[in-house]
Copies of this chain bind each other. A is one copy, B any other.
Amino acid sequence: MSKYRSAPTLDDVAKAAGVSTATVSRCLNTPQQVVEATRERVLSAVDSLGYTPNFAARVMAAKRSFTIGAIIPTMENAIFARGLQAFQEEIRKQGFTLLVSSSAYQPEAEEDQIRTLVARGADGLLLIGHDREARIYDYLDRQKVPTLVAWSYLPDKPIPSVGFDNRKAMKALANQVIGLGHTRLATISGISKGNDRARLRIQGIRDAMTEHGLPQDGLTVSETSYEIENGAEVFENLMLRDPPPTAVLCGNDVLAVGAVRQAQQMGLRVPEDVSITGFDDIELARIVSPALTTVHVPHREMGRKAAQELIHMIETSSEGHSIELSTNVVTRDSLLESNR
Protein backbone atom coordinates (compact mmCIF):
# COMPACT_ATOMS: atom_id res chain seq x y z
CA MET A 1 0.00 0.00 0.00
CA SER A 2 2.59 2.51 1.02
CA LYS A 3 4.26 1.38 -2.14
CA TYR A 4 1.92 3.43 -4.24
CA ARG A 5 1.89 6.57 -2.18
CA SER A 6 4.81 8.77 -2.87
CA ALA A 7 6.45 11.27 -0.60
CA PRO A 8 4.26 14.27 0.25
CA THR A 9 5.20 17.67 -1.12
CA LEU A 10 4.73 21.20 0.06
CA ASP A 11 1.63 21.31 -2.01
CA ASP A 12 0.08 18.38 -0.20
CA VAL A 13 0.73 20.05 3.10
CA ALA A 14 -0.75 23.30 1.86
CA LYS A 15 -3.92 21.58 0.74
CA ALA A 16 -4.24 19.64 3.96
CA ALA A 17 -3.84 22.80 6.01
CA GLY A 18 -5.96 24.93 3.71
CA VAL A 19 -3.30 27.54 3.04
CA SER A 20 -0.97 28.43 0.19
CA THR A 21 2.40 26.84 -0.36
CA ALA A 22 4.00 30.15 0.46
CA THR A 23 2.59 30.02 3.96
CA VAL A 24 3.78 26.49 4.50
CA SER A 25 7.21 27.46 3.32
CA ARG A 26 7.26 30.37 5.73
CA CYS A 27 6.14 28.18 8.60
CA LEU A 28 9.17 26.05 7.99
CA ASN A 29 11.75 28.72 7.33
CA THR A 30 10.63 31.91 9.01
CA PRO A 31 7.97 30.83 11.49
CA GLN A 32 7.76 34.22 13.14
CA GLN A 33 6.21 35.52 9.94
CA VAL A 34 3.07 33.46 10.34
CA VAL A 35 0.44 33.82 13.00
CA GLU A 36 0.26 31.14 15.64
CA ALA A 37 -3.09 29.61 14.73
CA THR A 38 -2.08 29.07 11.13
CA ARG A 39 1.30 27.82 12.08
CA GLU A 40 -0.13 25.17 14.34
CA ARG A 41 -2.50 24.00 11.67
CA VAL A 42 0.31 23.78 9.18
CA LEU A 43 2.72 22.05 11.47
CA SER A 44 0.21 19.44 12.42
CA ALA A 45 -0.42 18.78 8.74
CA VAL A 46 3.31 18.46 8.20
CA ASP A 47 3.38 16.05 11.00
CA SER A 48 0.51 13.86 10.08
CA LEU A 49 1.67 13.62 6.49
CA GLY A 50 5.22 12.92 7.54
CA TYR A 51 6.43 15.64 5.24
CA THR A 52 10.11 16.34 4.72
CA PRO A 53 11.21 19.10 2.38
CA ASN A 54 12.93 18.09 -0.78
CA PHE A 55 16.43 19.35 -0.50
CA ALA A 56 17.23 19.65 -4.17
CA ALA A 57 14.19 21.79 -4.75
CA ARG A 58 15.00 23.92 -1.79
CA VAL A 59 18.58 24.48 -2.84
CA MET A 60 17.54 25.35 -6.31
CA ALA A 61 14.98 27.87 -5.19
CA ALA A 62 16.94 29.37 -2.32
CA LYS A 63 20.40 29.11 -3.82
CA ARG A 64 21.68 28.15 -0.43
CA SER A 65 22.24 24.72 0.96
CA PHE A 66 23.68 25.10 4.45
CA THR A 67 26.06 22.39 3.47
CA ILE A 68 29.81 22.45 3.65
CA GLY A 69 31.95 19.99 1.79
CA ALA A 70 35.30 18.66 2.92
CA ILE A 71 37.70 16.56 0.93
CA ILE A 72 40.41 14.78 2.82
CA PRO A 73 43.18 12.64 1.39
CA THR A 74 42.25 9.56 3.39
CA MET A 75 39.89 8.15 5.91
CA GLU A 76 41.93 5.03 6.41
CA ASN A 77 44.08 6.36 9.15
CA ALA A 78 43.44 8.78 11.94
CA ILE A 79 45.45 11.69 10.64
CA PHE A 80 42.51 13.82 9.64
CA ALA A 81 39.87 12.22 11.78
CA ARG A 82 40.18 14.28 14.90
CA GLY A 83 40.43 17.63 13.19
CA LEU A 84 37.54 16.80 10.94
CA GLN A 85 35.40 15.71 13.84
CA ALA A 86 35.97 19.07 15.50
CA PHE A 87 35.24 20.80 12.22
CA GLN A 88 31.98 18.94 11.92
CA GLU A 89 30.95 19.67 15.48
CA GLU A 90 31.49 23.35 14.98
CA ILE A 91 29.66 23.72 11.68
CA ARG A 92 26.82 21.63 12.99
CA LYS A 93 26.50 23.98 15.92
CA GLN A 94 26.06 26.76 13.41
CA GLY A 95 23.37 24.95 11.48
CA PHE A 96 25.42 23.54 8.64
CA THR A 97 25.83 19.97 7.54
CA LEU A 98 29.12 18.43 6.56
CA LEU A 99 29.66 16.23 3.54
CA VAL A 100 32.95 14.41 3.45
CA SER A 101 34.75 12.73 0.60
CA SER A 102 38.09 11.04 0.54
CA SER A 103 40.35 11.39 -2.45
CA ALA A 104 42.70 8.55 -1.53
CA TYR A 105 45.56 10.95 -2.29
CA GLN A 106 44.57 11.01 -5.97
CA PRO A 107 44.44 14.48 -7.48
CA GLU A 108 41.95 13.46 -10.17
CA ALA A 109 39.62 11.98 -7.62
CA GLU A 110 39.89 15.16 -5.64
CA GLU A 111 39.03 17.32 -8.62
CA ASP A 112 36.05 15.14 -9.30
CA GLN A 113 34.87 15.43 -5.77
CA ILE A 114 35.30 19.17 -5.69
CA ARG A 115 33.06 19.44 -8.72
CA THR A 116 30.56 17.04 -7.25
CA LEU A 117 30.36 18.94 -4.03
CA VAL A 118 30.03 22.29 -5.75
CA ALA A 119 27.42 21.00 -8.14
CA ARG A 120 25.59 19.77 -5.10
CA GLY A 121 25.36 23.31 -3.91
CA ALA A 122 27.91 23.24 -1.12
CA ASP A 123 28.02 26.71 0.39
CA GLY A 124 31.71 26.31 1.14
CA LEU A 125 34.59 23.90 0.82
CA LEU A 126 37.37 22.71 3.07
CA LEU A 127 40.45 21.37 1.33
CA ILE A 128 43.68 19.94 2.66
CA GLY A 129 46.86 21.62 1.53
CA HIS A 130 47.42 24.06 -1.31
CA ASP A 131 48.87 21.93 -4.06
CA ARG A 132 46.47 21.43 -6.92
CA GLU A 133 45.98 22.38 -10.55
CA ALA A 134 45.37 26.04 -11.33
CA ARG A 135 42.34 24.94 -13.28
CA ILE A 136 40.65 23.93 -10.06
CA TYR A 137 41.22 27.32 -8.52
CA ASP A 138 39.82 28.96 -11.62
CA TYR A 139 36.77 26.82 -11.37
CA LEU A 140 36.27 27.59 -7.69
CA ASP A 141 36.68 31.24 -8.42
CA ARG A 142 34.18 31.17 -11.22
CA GLN A 143 31.66 29.27 -9.18
CA LYS A 144 32.32 31.67 -6.33
CA VAL A 145 32.50 28.98 -3.71
CA PRO A 146 34.21 30.11 -0.52
CA THR A 147 37.11 27.78 0.01
CA LEU A 148 39.52 27.29 2.84
CA VAL A 149 42.63 25.18 3.18
CA ALA A 150 43.63 23.42 6.37
CA TRP A 151 46.63 21.44 7.61
CA SER A 152 48.89 24.03 6.04
CA TYR A 153 49.60 27.69 6.63
CA LEU A 154 50.78 29.54 3.57
CA PRO A 155 49.37 33.03 3.81
CA ASP A 156 50.72 34.11 0.44
CA LYS A 157 48.57 31.66 -1.46
CA PRO A 158 45.36 32.96 -3.02
CA ILE A 159 43.22 30.68 -0.84
CA PRO A 160 43.32 31.40 2.88
CA SER A 161 44.60 28.66 5.12
CA VAL A 162 44.04 27.70 8.72
CA GLY A 163 46.86 25.53 9.87
CA PHE A 164 50.46 25.42 10.86
CA ASP A 165 53.79 26.02 9.23
CA ASN A 166 54.89 22.54 8.25
CA ARG A 167 58.39 23.66 7.45
CA LYS A 168 58.96 25.42 10.73
CA ALA A 169 57.41 22.58 12.68
CA MET A 170 59.62 19.93 11.17
CA LYS A 171 62.63 22.19 11.51
CA ALA A 172 62.05 22.41 15.25
CA LEU A 173 61.99 18.66 15.53
CA ALA A 174 65.07 18.26 13.33
CA ASN A 175 66.90 20.81 15.44
CA GLN A 176 66.26 18.69 18.44
CA VAL A 177 67.47 15.58 16.65
CA ILE A 178 70.62 17.25 15.44
CA GLY A 179 71.15 18.76 18.86
CA LEU A 180 71.40 15.22 20.19
CA GLY A 181 74.40 14.63 17.99
CA HIS A 182 72.81 12.89 15.03
CA THR A 183 74.50 13.64 11.72
CA ARG A 184 73.44 10.78 9.48
CA LEU A 185 69.76 11.49 8.98
CA ALA A 186 67.09 9.90 6.85
CA THR A 187 63.49 10.83 6.26
CA ILE A 188 60.61 8.64 5.21
CA SER A 189 58.28 11.10 3.57
CA GLY A 190 54.89 10.87 1.97
CA ILE A 191 54.82 11.38 -1.79
CA SER A 192 55.74 15.03 -2.09
CA LYS A 193 54.27 15.61 -5.53
CA GLY A 194 51.01 17.41 -5.03
CA ASN A 195 51.54 17.49 -1.31
CA ASP A 196 52.90 20.74 0.02
CA ARG A 197 52.94 19.44 3.57
CA ALA A 198 55.26 16.57 2.73
CA ARG A 199 57.52 18.81 0.70
CA LEU A 200 57.75 21.49 3.34
CA ARG A 201 58.53 19.03 6.06
CA ILE A 202 61.52 17.77 4.13
CA GLN A 203 62.53 21.35 3.59
CA GLY A 204 62.32 21.91 7.32
CA ILE A 205 64.83 19.16 7.94
CA ARG A 206 67.19 20.74 5.43
CA ASP A 207 66.80 24.09 7.11
CA ALA A 208 67.89 22.66 10.41
CA MET A 209 70.86 20.91 8.86
CA THR A 210 72.00 24.09 7.19
CA GLU A 211 71.65 25.97 10.41
CA HIS A 212 73.85 23.44 12.15
CA GLY A 213 76.36 23.35 9.33
CA LEU A 214 75.62 19.78 8.33
CA PRO A 215 76.12 18.92 4.65
CA GLN A 216 72.90 18.29 2.72
CA ASP A 217 74.06 14.87 1.63
CA GLY A 218 73.84 13.81 5.25
CA LEU A 219 70.12 13.38 4.57
CA THR A 220 68.60 10.45 2.71
CA VAL A 221 65.11 11.12 1.44
CA SER A 222 62.69 8.33 0.59
CA GLU A 223 59.14 8.88 -0.46
CA THR A 224 56.33 6.38 -0.15
CA SER A 225 52.63 6.39 0.50
CA TYR A 226 51.24 6.81 3.93
CA GLU A 227 50.73 3.32 5.24
CA ILE A 228 52.29 1.38 8.03
CA GLU A 229 53.64 -1.31 5.74
CA ASN A 230 55.34 1.25 3.55
CA GLY A 231 57.02 2.79 6.53
CA ALA A 232 58.32 -0.62 7.44
CA GLU A 233 59.54 -1.44 3.98
CA VAL A 234 61.35 1.81 3.41
CA PHE A 235 62.89 1.65 6.86
CA GLU A 236 64.35 -1.74 6.10
CA ASN A 237 66.06 -0.47 2.95
CA LEU A 238 67.34 2.49 4.84
CA MET A 239 68.98 0.40 7.53
CA LEU A 240 70.66 -1.80 4.98
CA ARG A 241 72.73 1.12 3.82
CA ASP A 242 76.28 1.44 4.93
CA PRO A 243 76.57 3.33 7.10
CA PRO A 244 72.93 3.39 8.18
CA PRO A 245 71.32 6.58 9.48
CA THR A 246 71.24 7.05 13.23
CA ALA A 247 67.95 8.90 13.16
CA VAL A 248 64.97 8.47 10.88
CA LEU A 249 62.51 11.35 10.74
CA CYS A 250 59.18 10.20 9.41
CA GLY A 251 56.70 12.35 7.57
CA ASN A 252 53.92 11.25 9.87
CA ASP A 253 53.18 8.98 12.79
CA VAL A 254 51.82 6.21 10.64
CA LEU A 255 55.08 5.82 8.76
CA ALA A 256 56.96 6.09 12.03
CA VAL A 257 54.99 3.25 13.54
CA GLY A 258 55.84 1.13 10.53
CA ALA A 259 59.49 2.00 11.02
CA VAL A 260 59.41 1.13 14.70
CA ARG A 261 57.85 -2.21 14.04
CA GLN A 262 60.30 -3.01 11.32
CA ALA A 263 63.17 -2.07 13.60
CA GLN A 264 61.90 -4.54 16.15
CA GLN A 265 61.54 -7.12 13.42
CA MET A 266 65.18 -6.57 12.52
CA GLY A 267 66.30 -6.88 16.09
CA LEU A 268 67.21 -3.22 16.37
CA ARG A 269 66.51 -1.41 19.58
CA VAL A 270 64.67 1.90 19.37
CA PRO A 271 65.99 4.36 20.39
CA GLU A 272 69.31 2.84 21.47
CA ASP A 273 70.29 1.59 18.02
CA VAL A 274 68.30 4.02 15.95
CA SER A 275 66.08 6.98 16.74
CA ILE A 276 62.75 7.37 15.00
CA THR A 277 60.39 10.35 15.06
CA GLY A 278 56.88 10.94 13.83
CA PHE A 279 54.64 13.88 12.96
CA ASP A 280 51.02 14.71 13.84
CA ASP A 281 50.78 13.23 17.30
CA ILE A 282 47.82 11.00 16.63
CA GLU A 283 46.75 8.40 19.14
CA LEU A 284 49.00 5.80 17.59
CA ALA A 285 52.05 7.78 18.65
CA ARG A 286 51.36 7.09 22.30
CA ILE A 287 50.31 3.52 21.83
CA VAL A 288 53.30 2.17 20.04
CA SER A 289 56.27 1.34 22.16
CA PRO A 290 58.53 3.06 22.43
CA ALA A 291 56.11 5.96 22.33
CA LEU A 292 56.97 8.36 19.55
CA THR A 293 58.73 11.65 19.84
CA THR A 294 56.72 13.63 17.36
CA VAL A 295 55.30 17.01 16.42
CA HIS A 296 52.07 17.78 18.17
CA VAL A 297 49.45 19.35 15.94
CA PRO A 298 46.43 21.06 17.53
CA HIS A 299 43.93 19.05 15.50
CA ARG A 300 40.77 20.00 17.27
CA GLU A 301 41.63 23.66 17.44
CA MET A 302 42.45 23.63 13.76
CA GLY A 303 39.14 21.99 12.92
CA ARG A 304 37.18 24.41 15.02
CA LYS A 305 38.91 27.54 13.78
CA ALA A 306 38.67 26.41 10.18
CA ALA A 307 34.93 25.94 10.62
CA GLN A 308 34.50 29.38 12.11
CA GLU A 309 36.54 31.07 9.46
CA LEU A 310 34.83 29.29 6.60
CA ILE A 311 31.36 30.04 7.89
CA HIS A 312 32.38 33.62 8.33
CA MET A 313 33.48 33.73 4.72
CA ILE A 314 30.18 32.26 3.64
CA GLU A 315 27.99 34.54 5.70
CA THR A 316 29.76 37.74 4.81
CA SER A 317 30.95 36.83 1.31
CA SER A 318 34.32 38.05 2.41
CA GLU A 319 37.73 36.84 1.39
CA GLY A 320 38.69 35.13 4.60
CA HIS A 321 42.06 35.37 6.22
CA SER A 322 44.69 32.84 7.18
CA ILE A 323 45.25 31.73 10.73
CA GLU A 324 48.48 30.25 11.97
CA LEU A 325 48.39 27.68 14.72
CA SER A 326 51.40 26.61 16.62
CA THR A 327 52.81 23.16 16.95
CA ASN A 328 55.28 21.81 19.44
CA VAL A 329 57.65 18.93 19.67
CA VAL A 330 56.53 16.33 22.16
CA THR A 331 59.35 14.36 23.58
CA ARG A 332 58.69 10.73 24.27
CA ASP A 333 60.80 7.65 24.02
CA SER A 334 61.75 7.03 20.42
CA LEU A 335 64.49 9.67 20.20
CA LEU A 336 67.79 9.49 22.06
CA GLU A 337 71.20 11.03 21.62
CA SER A 338 73.46 9.61 19.02
CA ASN A 339 76.12 7.20 20.25
CA ARG A 340 78.39 7.24 17.24
Contacts and interface: CB of A to CB of B under 8 A. Distances in A.
A268 interface: no
For chain A, the bracket of interface size reads: 35 or more
Contact of A60 (B54, B74, B119): B54
A16 to B, nearest CB: 15
A84 B76 CA distance: 9
A81 B77 contact: yes
Contact of A142 (B5, B57, B89, B138): B5
A325 interface: no
A54 to B, nearest CB: 6
Interface in A72-112: 74-78, 81-82, 84-85, 88-89, 97-102, 104
A207 to B, nearest CB: 31
B257 A142 contact: no
A81 B75 contact: yes
B78 A82 contact: no
A114 to B, nearest CB: 10
A167 interface: no
A172 interface: no
Contact of A7 (B58, B100, B143): B143
Interface string A149-168: 00000000000000000000
Contact of A50 (B74, B81, B116, B142): B142
Contacts of A58: 119
B6 A52 contact: no
Nearest to A89: B104
A136 B78 CA distance: 31
Contact of A287 (B56, B115, B119, B261): B261
Nearest to A257: B287
B287 A2 contact: no
Interface in A108-149: 113, 115-116, 118-121, 138-139, 141-144
Contacts of A76: 78, 81-82, 85
A62 to B, nearest CB: 10
Contacts of A60: 54, 56-57, 60
Given A50-B138, A75-B81, A75-B84, 11 more contacts: A6-B144, A52-B115, A54-B119, A56-B120, A57-B60, A75-B85, A77-B81, A77-B283, A85-B102, A89-B104, A288-B288
21 contacts: A5-B142, A7-B144, A50-B138, A50-B142, A52-B115, A53-B119, A54-B60, A56-B120, A56-B121, A60-B60, A75-B75, A75-B81, A75-B84, A76-B81, A81-B81, A88-B102, A89-B104, A257-B287, A284-B284, A287-B288, A288-B288
Interface of A: 2-3, 5-7, 50, 52-60, 65, 74-78, 81-82, 84-85, 88-89, 97-102, 104, 113, 115-116, 118-121, 138-139, 141-144, 228, 257, 261, 283-284, 287-289
